[in-house]
Amino acid sequence: MTTRTDTPDAATTGQRAVAGKLVIEGLCKRYGATTALEPSSLSVTEGEFLTLLGPSGSGKTTLLQLICGLVEASEGRVVIDGRDQSRMPVHQRDIGLVFQHYALFPHLTVAENIAFPLKMRGRPSAEIGKRVEDALAMVHLGQLAKRFPRELSGGQQQRVALARCFVYQPSIILMDEPLGALDKKLREHMQIEIKRLHRESGATIIYVTHDQEEALALSDRICLMNHAKIEQLGTPRDIYERPRTAFAADFIGISNIFRGRWDGNGSLDTAHGRFVLPSGAQSPGAEPAIVIRPEHLKLGAPDGNAVTGRVSEIVYAGSETRVIAALGDGGQLVLRLGPDDAVPAINEDIVAGWARDRAVLVA
């Protein structure tokens, strides 16, 4: 990752690596009485792909806008490359932002769009020509250089937006739901494309999405957000296998969640019975619950933890079969059966159990 040569303190590179590429300290944004982002702290290392994931209104876009300077923070600091840039105007931050609807300039050609950031930095025109060409080749759009954005398909416009961002090698690249406007097939294709660009350029990327599958597929780490604050920060595997809250468990993947009361003795009293907690479970928070992923539920009752229900729906999905069962209290249970498992019939009463250590105790 090369940085702009006009960045003055190139000598402090070693220090930067220690401090992290991007460090956010107590960053917060309030609009009058409403809080768009509670004071939050976060550190991103060089070359990392971090995803801000959360439902709409969770503060992820606000955090992104605070990082790039489109919105001014109420409190806190944004440190990029070891320099406090909290009060730096947008155009001096050396940050790249890929917009949700691409924000390509309609009056400029594809090549001119990509050249724009280089021109703003006063690069010599020979260098601009070369780098634009390279960037176009990188996103496989060399033949469309002279077209105008409206003459391109959505996927092509998205590639131009990516090229316009990668071409000037900003310190950090931010992406605001960049694939939100594309259909599913194209979205999956572009995910692979973004992964490749990330790998090839070594760029530090912060990616915003509300799509958990996208987050799992792309990220080195996921920053899960809810109610204007960071809910959990960790690797995709971390968050999937060890969610810390019921929200985290519910938002990422499918979960069976049983709320209950901790009896102080390694078990949880729930409406469906007393369940033995995983070994070594710490004393939980105020509203404890256990989470069991559908693939960990087995028909039958190993180790004693089990619930009973009546099969209400069977969804065949090729590599797996999803069984939905109604529980006594009106709740629902989801099981994922492998291709070799026996599938129950609709309205059949079943007992589903799980190995004690497959469950996760959440707050």
Partner 1 sequence: MSAVAASGGLLARAGALRFGALWLAVPGLLFLAFFFVWPVAQLLGLSLFDPDSGRPSIATYERIAATDVYLRVLGITFRIAGYTALYSLLIGYPLAYWLSRLPDMYRGRMLLFVMVPFWTSYLVKTFAWMILLGRSGIINSLATGSGLVDQPLSLLHNEFGVMVGMVHAMVPLAVMTMLPVMAGIDRRLVQAAQTLGASPAHAFWLVYFKLSLPGVAAAGLLVFISSLGFFIVPAFLGGRRETMLAQLIITQVQELLNWPFAGALAAMMLAAALVSCWFYDRVFGLSTIAGGSAQVGTGRIRDIGLAILSGLARVAGALSSLTQRLLGRRGSGFILPAFAWLAIVFLVVPTLLVIPLAFTSSQFLEFPPPGYGLSWFRTYFESPLWIQATIRSFGVAFATAIAATAIGGFTALALANSRTRWSGLIFAFFLAPMIVPRIVIAVGLFYLFARIGLVATDLGLIIGHTVLAIPFALVTMAAVLKSYDQRLDQAAATLGANRLKTLTGVTIPLVKGGLVAAFLFSFITSFDELTIAIFISGGVKTTLPKQMWDDMILQLNPTLAAVSVVVFVVVTVMLLVAERFRSSSSSSS
Q: Give the binding site for partner 1 (CB under 8 A).
A: 68, 70, 89-97, 99, 101, 103, 105-107, 116-117, 120-121, 148, 150, 164, 168
Nearer of residues 24 and 172 to partner 1, judged by Cβ: 172
Report the residue number, 95 or 289, with the smaller CB distance to partner 1: 95
Beta strands in 142-186 (DSSP E): 172-176
3-state helix, strand, coil in the chain (%, to 5): 30, 30, 40
What are the phi and psi torsion angles at 169 (to 5°)?
A: 45, 60
∠ at Cα 99 (124, 35), nearest 5°? 125
Q: How far is the CB of 336 from partner 1 (least distance, A)?
A: 41
The nearer residue to partner 1, 177 or 231, going by C-beta atoms, is 177
Q: How many CA atoms lie within 13 A of 233 on its CB side?
A: 11
CA dist 309 and 350 (Å) reads 6
Of 102 and 251, which has the nearer Cβ to partner 1? 102
Please, which residue, 99 or 262, has the CB nearer to partner 1? 99
Q: Which is nearer to partner 1, 62 or 305 (CB)?
A: 62
Nearer residue to partner 1 within complex by CB, 49 or 116: 116
3-class DSSP state of 324: strand
Minimum CB–partner distance for residue 147 and partner 1 (Å): 11
CB of 173 to partner 1, least distance (A): 10
C-alpha dist (Å) from residue 200 to 139, 235, 328? 12, 21, 53
Question: Minimal distance in Å, beta carbon 127 to partner 1?
Answer: 15
- Shortest Å distance, C-beta 157 to partner 1: 13
CB 90 to partner 1: min, Å: 4
d(CA 174, CA 205): 6
DSSP 214-265: HHHHH-SEEEEEETTEEEEEE-HHHHHHS-SSHHHHHHSS--EEEEEEE-SS
What single string gives the DSSP state of each residue in 252-297? SS--EEEEEEE-SSSEEEETTEEEEPPTTPPP--SS-EEEE-GGG-
- Smallest distance from the beta carbon of 26 to partner 1, in angstroms? 24
Reduce the DSSP state of residue 91 to 3 states and report it. helix
Residue 175 or 194: the one with the smaller Cβ distance to partner 1 is 175
Closest contact distance (angstroms) between CB of 17 and partner 1 is: 25
Give me the least distance between CB of 72 and partner 1, in Å please.
Answer: 11
Instruction: State the residue for tokens 């809810």.
Output: 226
| Cβ proximity to partner 1, 91 vs 237, nearer residue | 91
Question: Is the four-CA dihedral 264, 226, 24, 158 of positive or negative sign?
Answer: positive
Please, which residues have CB within 8 angstroms of residue 105's CB and are 6 or more apart in sequence? 112, 113, 116, 149
